[in-house]
Amino acid sequence: MKRRVLALATAGVTVAGAAAIYALVDRSDDSPTIPANANAFNCNTFQIPAPAGATVESLTATAVPAGTFQVPGNPPLGGYPVPDVPAHCEVTVTLTHPGANDHAKLQIWLPESGWNGRFQAVGGAAYAAGNIGSVATAIKQGYATGTTDAGVDTTGLDSSWALNSSGQINTALLENFASRSVHELAVVGKQVVNEVYGHAASYTYWNGCSTGGRQGYMEATKYPTDFDGINADAPAINWNQFEVATLWPQVVMKEAHTYPTACEFNAFNQAAVKACDPQDGVADGLISDPGRCNFDPRSLIGTKVVCDGKERTISEADAEVVRKIWDGPRDGNGRRLWYGLPIGADFSNLTASTTGPDGVTVGSPFPVPAQWVATFVEKQPAFNTANLTYAQFDQIFQQARSEFDSIIGTADPNLSAFRDAGGKIITWQGDADQLIPTAGTIDYRNRVDALMGGTAKVDDFYRVFLAPGVAHCALTGSNDLTALTEWVEHGQAPDVLRADLTTATGQTVARDICRLPFVSRYNGDGDPTSAASFRCVAPSS
C-alpha cells in the first residue's frame, strides 16, 4: 500500500537565561501531482474514526481568512507574530484515552488554495510535544500541516505534568509525550486531509529538531509506516543518557569547588578553535572535524584573561574542570557513561552559576535536564541538582535508564521496518551542539551500521550530516527538507546539505555539509567563504 507524506518543522531549545526557538521549515517547489478534484475544499465539521485505543472528545472545523497569526503564549514557543498566513481551514481534534483522564489536542491547518499535495506535521521542543507557531510557518510553504500538544504543557520548560496527585509518574501523559500522540497526529492528520480535500496527501514527512528529532526516530522504530520521509535534526535520542549527562558540568564544578566565569570558559574555546581550525586546510574560524581536535586545556594554565575589566589567571583547577566537561561523564571506576560537551560548543547553558552577596558561587543547572532528574527520576520537583556528588550522579544515571529507557529512551538502532517500508531519514546536527552531545548521534548511527549491514547499506535510506560550528538546532539556510523530498519522491539521495555557517568571528559563509563519516576539507585555493572551495573527504584523508 502506498505510504503518504508528513513533514514536520520544529524547534530546538537553547537557553542563555531564556530559550530561543529556531523554526526549521524548508520548501520544495517540485510539488507532487494533485488529483483533478483538488479544488474540492470542505471546511465543514465532519466525523472521523478515533485512532486505536483513543476516543474523539471533540472535532471542529473553522474557515480562517488570510492574515497575521499571533502565536499564543510566551517565548520560546510563543509570543511572536507570523505574517502572511494564507486562508485556511483549522481543524481541532481532542482525543482522550479510556481511564487516562487526558485531553490531547491536535490542530490541523489546511490551505484553501495552493496546497502542494503534502502533509507536514510539526513537533516539539524540550517538554512541549508540538508548536503551533511552526504550523503557521509551514502552511505558508503550501503544506497541509498539524501538531499535537499531547495533553501536556506547551511552554516547553514546564514538566509539572509528569506527576499525578499521588506524586507518581503520570504514565498516560508520559506515553503521550514519548510516542503515542505523534502517532495519533499522523493517523488523524491523514484522515483530516482526506475529508477536507476529498483525497489523500501524496506523501507524508516528519521534520523536527531536538525533541522533534527524537519524535521522528521514535516514529521510525515504533510506527514505521506513518511517514515516507523523516527529517530528524539534533535529535534528543538516547534520552536518559544525554539528559542526565548534561548535568555533568554542574557536578564537576561542584565537586572541584571551582566555577570558572563565562569569560574564562570562552578563553578555552577560543584557544581550541585556534589550535584545531587549520586542520581542514584553512583557518576560517570553523573546526571541520572536532573528533581530531586534541587540544589540551592544560596548555592554558597560567594564561591571563581580562573578564569584565578584571584580569584573571587560568588555574590548574579551571583547566581540569574543562577537561572533564569535554571528556564527559564517567562512573566511579572511570568507565564512560556518556559523551561530553563538544569542543568548541558554548559552555554557558550547562555551566551557568550565580554568586551571592556573601561571595559564595553555586551552580544553576540547565532547566530541562534538571527537571528530568528532579521531577521524573527523583519525583521531587524541588530536588536541587546543583548539589549532586559523583556518586549520586552515577546512581541517578543508572536509575533513569532502568526506569525510563523502555518508554522514552529512543535508542533502538533497528530501523529495518522503516527501511522495508521504503522510508528515508535525514539528520543534521551541529558539531558545536551545546545541549545534546553530537557524539551521541554519531554513536547511534554507528550502532545502526553495525546492526544493518554497514555504512553503504544504511546510506540507502538513512544519512547523517554534521555541520561545523553550528549550535543546537541553529543551522540556517539549509535545504534539508527539499533534499528529503527529492530523495523520497525522485530517488535522489543527498551527498551534501547546503547551508550557511557562522565562523568564530561572526562571519557568515556558505558551505556544503558533509554526510557522515566524511568531513570538509579546503581545496587549497579559492575563497574560504565559498562552498566551492571545499570538498568532502574521509576523516583520515
- Which residues carry out catalysis? 210, 433, 472
Identity of the amino acid at 288: S
Residue 264: closest CA among 131, 140, 192, 353: 353
Q: Rounded distance, CA 104 to CA 150, Å?
A: 5
Beta strands of 349-481 (E only): which ranges? 353-355, 361-363, 424-430, 462-467
Pairing status of strand 462-467 against strand 424-430: parallel
Q: Which three cell numbers stand for residue 362?
A: 553555586
* Cβ neighbours for 491, distance < 8 A, ≥ 6 positions apart: none
515 pairs with which residues across the strands? 465
CA trace torsion 465, 469, 473, 479 (10° rounding):
-50
Cβ atoms of 139 and 118 closer than 8 Å: no
SS3 content of the chain, % helix, strand, coil (to 5): 35, 20, 45
The secondary element (H helix, E strand) that includes residue 69 is strand 67-70
393 and 251 Cβ atoms separated by less than 8 Å: yes
Question: The cell 499571533 sits on which residue?
Answer: 70
C-alpha cell at 240: 536518559
- Strand-strand pairing, 88-96 and 104-111: antiparallel
User: How far, in Å, CA of 372 to CA of 163, rounded?
Assistant: 12
Please enumerate in sequence order all residues whose Cβ is within 8 A of that of 399, keeping only pairs 6 or more positions apart, or say none: 377
For Cα atoms 257, 263, 269, give the angle at the middle one, nearest 5 degrees.
95
